[in-house]
Structure 1
């Protein structure tokens, strides 16, 4: 599922169809029978909402919406060995595909060839991939090995990684894992804030019910610029950083944790997204297997103001497990939720 700035929503289905909806009228605009396989992911070409990429099985297909319901694939890429879980496209025309082998293939869509293979960071299924918009040669991946990795994909190497399954991280995230001992901190989804936002961060949807928000610029900064470790600091990666619990009264806070102690999820978090409406990125939306959607005013956790805490702004009971969600700005501010029912839910915010 992907929402466009034009007010259109494209849904991918298990029967291989792509469906476009007008978010203003809720009407179906177009249906394309893209493939005979379940579609796992869809994304728009950067700067051109008429052009979409879809993944099905280990294959990536592209379509031009202007060709209508009879549209045929314009491009096909078969570089992934195993089933693709998510695809993403960068402003420079690179396409990333994360698959069940743990690898990520980077395709140059301009030259229509394989550009790089990112491997050895994940030892299990790579569930999610995103490009970092303010660093055009950088991508971020998450996997069911509980690892988050940030890559320089031009060189095919990792810049830093976080292992949420390590004993140290599990001990320091005990508030998130309490009552969730059977749910490891698998990473199900990763979202990256937009370029130009107040904070340059990523949000991580974890299987233990917590959402982690990580200051990427701090992690990507040279180690010498961070200065000596402060008392109470911890190593969340090889470089080290602070750990938070959703609140901060220090200007140096570099990570916040949104968990059940703050009214968060009581089961695995399946997806996260930064808000596209109003002040972009001000809110973080998360959906989970506890059949709830949470709207967080997360940035307060990074504020230097005394007693400034991240807040749970809204809690929606959607009755079914959440598969995916996204936000879109139209005449009203929309939150779109896909759950395990056959109905797509659209919530409007005044």
Structure 2
């Protein structure tokens, strides 16, 4: 039972400390590194903010499409990857210009996606970059050779919205999409290793606030341990995943915390036809009393 102090804290509303004003269309992505915050927008720009002053540090313009994703690399404090349309641009933020043009000042441009890229991530050793796109593809770029690794079998049969490397695991990642699947990837093996259905009937959760949207996977966030993941869904709920070595000590009420994931009939058929297993990530608790709309970011 919650204490009186806990109830008071829950009733307190978080107040913004500042507003960063500059974009003229919705913001699609955010990423931070030290004192910098990168934002990508539908206005076809990326802005680098100085969080010490709450002012724009640099603006990156010249893109032909909205900036859907931005990510800093763990390798240094000045390289950023920006995904717009089917291309990924790399910029060196040590350039003196306050405004960088994507057409003339990208240090490298990577192309090859079949459709618009939704998210890019760099692994913790900064040796690889993973990207997912509207075609449902998940692809890996070798940052040492600057070449795409061989194309993997398409596992999502709809838009792949989000992808996250597993911390401390060089070439393992989870992707999620509009097919209601979370897919675990092992790029050493060159294939998907697990399919997790987000509306599996085995999970008994309370009805979410969002009554109409299916649980499409919009976002995934990783715990630094690499053993827990949070998945933001289209029905406004948050699904937690964990490994067998990190079982929750206090499962959420109404969840089946140690239940091994069983794929849906569609997922089972896919797994059987390609030899993919269903061991690895387990379903944890699910927060249903969260948002009344899809969770776009975690």
TM-score range, shorter chain: 0.7 to 0.9
1:95 aligned onto 2:129: yes
CA 1:18–1:82: 2 relative to 1, 3 Å? same
- CA displacement, residues 9-47 of structure 1 (integer Å, 9 cap, x when unaligned): 111122322211111211111112142321110111222
What residue in structure 2 maps to residue 183 of structure 1? 213
What residue in structure 2 maps to residue 158 of structure 1? 192
1:114 aligned onto 2:141: no
1:265 aligned onto 2:291: yes
Unmatched segments (≥5 aa) in structure 1: 220-230, 244-254, 273-350
Q: Distance in 2 between matches of 1:240 and 1:6?
A: 33
Q: Distance in 2 between matches of 1:15 and 1:240?
A: 40
- Secondary structure in structure 1 of the residue aligned to 2:261: coil
Offset at residue 270 of structure 1 (A): 1.9
- CA displacement, residues 253-310 of structure 1 (integer Å, 9 cap, x when unaligned): xx111111xxx223322221xxxxxxxxxxxxxxxxxxxxxxxxxxxxxxxxxxxxxx
What residue in structure 1 maps to residue 20 of structure 2? none
Deviates more, 1:200-209 or 1:61-70: 61-70
CA 1:7–1:59: 2 relative to 1, 3 Å? same
Q: Distance in 2 between matches of 1:107 and 1:24?
A: 33
Q: CA RMSD in A?
A: 2.4
Q: Distance in 2 between matches of 1:114 and 1:82?
A: 15
Q: How many residue pairs are counted as aligned between the two chains?
A: 240
1:73 aligned onto 2:106: yes
What residue in structure 2 maps to residue 342 of structure 1? none
Q: Distance in 2 between matches of 1:242 and 1:151?
A: 15
CA 1:18–1:266: 2 relative to 1, 3 Å? closer
Which structure's residues are more often strand, by fraction? Answer: 1
**Is 1:42–1:52's contact at 8 Å kept on the other side of the alignment?**
yes
TM-score under structure 1 normalisation? 0.63
- Secondary structure in structure 1 of the residue aligned to 2:80: strand
**Is 2:64–2:85's contact at 8 Å kept on the other side of the alignment?**
no
